[in-house]
Structure 1
């Protein structure tokens, strides 16, 4: 009897299942918007609200009843962060979460190569996909306004056009793997000092011309699936729930249909979070990175208070549905996508990609008497400096990585030149990396210098490998640098090394510009950035001449801090009075300031040397008289007239001297990286739409292309102009 009953029950179950239809939201052949609306129609109010806030440090809920998965986010822009405990920042000590470290984004920007940006995005996207992440928290595109900003190394430099061209392929690469890029930090997050509350005041013109273009390109061209709000305030409202930034500009003007995610601890008010454009609230009451609170996730601003307000009729259901739609759309683009590729982790291809990006990003700043490359036979090469052996993937805040491997500069150079020909001395020492605290080394500084000098005296060549690191008050989240100078007594050490051995070159590893009081004393300087897992191999390949350097500076190096625009106007301009900050330099950021005010930088934007030389012919234009809706094509011949193969990044700037508004002397509007064999010539053509000549008109609240005369400037940097063309806009 029991067996008959069981058989009947099972048969009935099968009959019901056979008659059921697959819900549209599970049918991957249906358009995403149809799937979204179907899923939304099946969800309860409680399930919709649950989508809108965290359930752990790095995840938010799905809808288990409907088979809709959770959203898992992960840092960062340079590598996939280790797994952490559910409600803590501490690492969970997994044995299979050691990633590939890719170069920091300052290095990527220095390549001036969008093809490498696409490769970067695909590679890091594959690593995120392998770890089953839904959202990669990056890339960052905040503008380099001051060389003291602790997070500049995470961003793409001082120029909005360069950042725009480099961010789009990065996003496309990541999202081609079925992982959402989360572009950050929107917006005006240009310092770490008082980042959680400083109220930024900036003109509409500077906002639209300098600080928003890369975000706009990320949304409209890159089709980013998510955006992260920033900690700071803008015109009196926190940016994670800012009506102007999120509702009016991002979602209304730019038609962004993705998800706005708060920075961790960036949400402050239920009413504003609901009404002013925030979709997912993360990390509330964790104070960014520094607190491990056991605060209930159901008490978040977009949790129970949101649900209570909906049930009481205080908030329109349409506000909740809009947030839920956006989150569902992201899930269907990623975890529930039919065509989501598989990932891979710490692969040889990723190592090769990281090394290639690092090599192309390294910038040769000075090279008197062809000091580099080191191609001769040397009995002893002295490597001096802590950064030659220190891990530079650890620290820096949320971008700190647990890596599968890291090739140090010393290891790379030793492999290149042989252990019998390389000798190392530390020279200086910083303390251990500790987030939020400045730790000092217990080693004796004078003894380190003395030992290094003795090593230098007996060497044929000295390579000082120094710069900054990712300690607090260096290149690190949560605190800005205290000065432009090199830390830990490095300037004094370099002077001592030069006196001991005139063949001393400097290799800087940093994400920021530094002062160089010794610039005229050393024959060669190389800017190396944070180069990731393949740092040592990339540096060794460039130093040895196996690779010809082709990087260009994505930001200007000032001679002194006061030469920088933000610092020239006093403390209210930077860092503010702890409550408000006024961007008094307006649109004149970076080279725009240096060139317009005729202040000589130490090294200009777009600058970088090669082991070969390039010649530019006189540029020509397809038409010198063009309408406002037209396109101009500038052509010239670029020749590698040296003896080695190399690459040059040609840059096209636009200038208008007679204008109804204040303008920068020149603005970058196009660039092209060209690879040429020794003796080879190539015709280079760059197209620029006349619409890109526009300024933001604060009277008309829109873009305005002035009629009249302009100059097009072709150069190898913002200060090295090779040719000019006059054009007229009708």
Structure 2
């Protein structure tokens, strides 16, 4: 891959030198002038061709600047939890660089599971430093699409099912990344909640669900986080593709929210020149061209916002008002990134970066069950430890789609466990099952060949015999990043664990009571063996420090404090999208062959409306396997009785709730106090409760702290679609405080006038 940064810098130097000599330095080079004035000056100097050229790609991951005026090109990169390796200029194949290996950070489900806003800022800062070091201007992430179904292959890249939690976690991430002069590109706007039919679906959702569930994280990202770019999605909404959508991009994003940044298309998401011109798109990437159809030498001239746009302008069929708005936004982005002389240099794979990756992994791991206190492992009683399961030895940073990475290292779970326990105990391994034996994505190879020709019975017998003769058994399984699991492009085919894992887990539970099941996944899974197994850890995809983070929690070096960012239903039918029959789309249309191409879209109707995740389970009283917000600790916490600073609040007022959290156990640890609000009597259907505040508190044994939540009427409001406004109905409400959606510890009633 050939980059032109040096050439652009030379142009900038020549332009500045020439203007200085002639005493006519243009405003756009004068750093003492306001940025908006400088933008208008450079805009006035650009030709029509230069303006149009800025609107579309020039390679797989870059777009042109204006060399004549010293405006640098933009370089983008995946992804949300690590900087993607370099690819060829025009192809997806690897460029073969030897200096593009990085640190992989935990996937965003793990970050969200920390329920720690400070940790989110740390994450963004170190990721932004690596992107800056690699000379990237736009980081294609984070993803904030809401978890609607546990079958969505891309859920591992998102932040869970709750719009409030996602909103609060995404804002510090954005600020951390952008502190390095690297723009985030929050994605995928909007309603991209499944991978199946993502290119050919038309989503039907009521306005109330749109505004209450699916839009809040994007709104927070641009109005609170000031994300400098936002990425459009593939799917259709109101029969228009999301990356060229009047209602989403113009009416909501740019008018209602006043967004001044750049709308970037997802790669190949643009389908029509005139819609792209008029419906809010600013920068087009990845549209398929072959360089031959129009007889042009440069395939990128065929993009919808390239020569076709230029031809329409020259023919007088469209004006230049939209063009100038798009270029203004891109220049605004340039002054924050490519033309920002104050941005830091960045760094890569530092000791700080490794420490942050490990700490986020430790805080994100969720202790789902710990009957009999099997965990943490008592090293004095653990003379022999059996580690069983393919995921203990499988590299997970390669695969999964566009977030696949080339890392400097990845500590596997088995290696982490051996390093931590190997000096005191005999750690032995058995495969247990065979799943995905390879590992390659876009030319990045894991280097592993996990082929094993033994039968399922032979593998199971070996694992059982090892478990029988061990003091502790650690089963490391779950999903992986191969197709139809946790991976972009396709959804999971079923809710259960693949590769005969259920039988392996049940067999191990029968022969050893000291069994800990460690599940690696970005999604909920069925657990038919849950009553047989004493201890379960949800460990996510944890990146370069995976093995060290897991071993730290197993040993008790880190006390688990993660909380689930989404609900684990007992069975798939307990999930609202599946119970109401609208996943993956309307069955009649599937039978008729719709959804096969972009001209033949399939309709996906969100019949569950606002009742997503715990909102559905709690309201319908459907007991989950594990609830939203659930997560245990190696210590015990006690909540005091909550109090409010008033019993009645007005529409323009605020109200505060205070609760004491105390560590009554013997270990230092962290608890997450969660505030839910319940409308006691409403004229419209509302969930039983909704998350409206959370705070993570760290406590030594015997220590207690007060946690205070302050809310205003926004926390009490629902979206009135007819009035197109948020409404807080007067009446009685209840503040419910606990440590998960189904573990409320204390309640306070209050009234809104």
Q: TM-score range by the shorter chain?
A: over 0.9
1:336 corresponds in structure 2 to 339
1:554 aligns with 2:565: yes
2:541 corresponds in structure 1 to 530
Distance change >3 Å, CA 701–CA 17, structure 1 → 2: closer
1:469 aligns with 2:480: yes
Q: How does 1:408-419 map to 2 (within 5 A)?
A: 408-418=412-422
1:7 corresponds in structure 2 to none
Shift in Å, 1:572: 5.6
2:707 corresponds in structure 1 to 684
Shift in Å, 1:15: 9.5
2:428 corresponds in structure 1 to 423
Shift in Å, 1:29: 3.0
Shift in Å, 1:262: 0.5
Q: How does 1:219-230 map to 2 (within 5 A)?
A: 219-230=222-233
1:34 corresponds in structure 2 to 37
CA distance in 2: counterparts of 1:214 and 1:464, whole angstroms: 36
Shift in Å, 1:32: 1.6
Shift in Å, 1:603: 0.1
1:261 aligns with 2:261: no
1:603 corresponds in structure 2 to 626
Aligned mate of 1:362, from 360, 365, 371: 365
1:396 aligns with 2:395: no
Aligned length: 712
CA distance in 2: counterparts of 1:252 and 1:15, whole angstroms: 41
1:672 aligns with 2:695: yes
Contact 1:121 1:174 in 2 (8 A): yes
1:728 corresponds in structure 2 to 751
1:543 corresponds in structure 2 to 554
Aligned mate of 1:270, from 257, 261, 273: 273
Contact 1:430 1:441 in 2 (8 A): no
Shift in Å, 1:311: 1.1
1:214 corresponds in structure 2 to 217
Aligned mate of 2:147, from 144, 161, 169: 144
Name the SS of the counterpart of 2:247 in structure 1.
Answer: helix
2:3 corresponds in structure 1 to none
1:661 aligns with 2:684: yes
Q: How does 1:247-646 map to 2 (within 5 A)?
A: 247-285=250-288, 296-377=299-380, 378-418=382-422, 421-431=426-436, 432-433=438-439, 443-444=453-454, 445-571=456-582, 574=585, 577=589, 578=595, 579-646=602-669
CA distance in 2: counterparts of 1:661 and 1:409, whole angstroms: 49
2:178 corresponds in structure 1 to 175
RMSD across aligned positions (CA): 1.9
Distance change >3 Å, CA 157–CA 342, structure 1 → 2: same
CA distance in 1: counterparts of 2:511 and 2:739, whole angstroms: 36
Distance change >3 Å, CA 700–CA 251, structure 1 → 2: same
CA distance in 1: counterparts of 2:298 and 2:554, whole angstroms: 52
Contact 1:240 1:263 in 2 (8 A): yes
1:10 corresponds in structure 2 to none
CA distance in 1: counterparts of 2:412 and 2:654, whole angstroms: 47
C-alpha distance after superposition, 1:426-472 (max 9, x if no partner): 11122224669xx9966333322222222212111110000000000
1:6 corresponds in structure 2 to none
Shift in Å, 1:574: 4.8
2:6 corresponds in structure 1 to none
Contact 2:630 2:741 in 1 (8 A): yes
Shift in Å, 1:28: 2.7
Shift in Å, 1:409: 0.8
Contact 1:435 1:472 in 2 (8 A): no
Q: How does 1:92-111 map to 2 (within 5 A)?
A: 92-111=95-114
CA distance in 1: counterparts of 2:551 and 2:441, whole angstroms: 30
CA distance in 2: counterparts of 1:383 and 1:429, whole angstroms: 15
Shift in Å, 1:282: 0.4
For normalisation by structure 1, the TM-score amounts to 0.95
Contact 2:86 2:95 in 1 (8 A): yes
Name the SS of the counterpart of 2:44 in structure 1.
Answer: helix
1:52 aligns with 2:62: no
Most deviating of 421-430 and 365-374: 421-430
Gap runs ≥5 in structure 2: 1-15, 291-295, 443-448, 590-594, 596-601
C-alpha distance after superposition, 1:590-611 (max 9, x if no partner): 0000000000000000000000
Distance change >3 Å, CA 294–CA 506, structure 1 → 2: farther
CA distance in 1: counterparts of 2:681 and 2:441, whole angstroms: 50
Name the SS of the counterpart of 1:717 in structure 2.
Answer: coil
Most deviating of 414-423 and 675-684: 414-423
Contact 1:107 1:531 in 2 (8 A): yes
Contact 1:87 1:294 in 2 (8 A): no
Q: How does 1:77-92 map to 2 (within 5 A)?
A: 77-92=80-95
Shift in Å, 1:23: 2.1
Q: How does 1:195-214 map to 2 (within 5 A)?
A: 195-214=198-217
Gap runs ≥5 in structure 1: 1-12, 288-292
Q: How does 1:56-71 map to 2 (within 5 A)?
A: 56-71=59-74
Name the SS of the counterpart of 1:700 in structure 2.
Answer: coil
CA distance in 2: counterparts of 1:100 and 1:518, whole angstroms: 35
C-alpha distance after superposition, 1:5-62 (max 9, x if no partner): xxxxxxxx99985233332222233222112111111100000000000100000000
Name the SS of the counterpart of 1:505 in structure 2.
Answer: strand
Distance change >3 Å, CA 697–CA 573, structure 1 → 2: farther
2:723 corresponds in structure 1 to 700
Aligned mate of 1:123, from 107, 121, 126: 126
Shift in Å, 1:632: 1.2
Distance change >3 Å, CA 481–CA 297, structure 1 → 2: same
1:719 aligns with 2:742: yes
Q: How does 1:236-255 map to 2 (within 5 A)?
A: 236-255=239-258
1:158 corresponds in structure 2 to 161
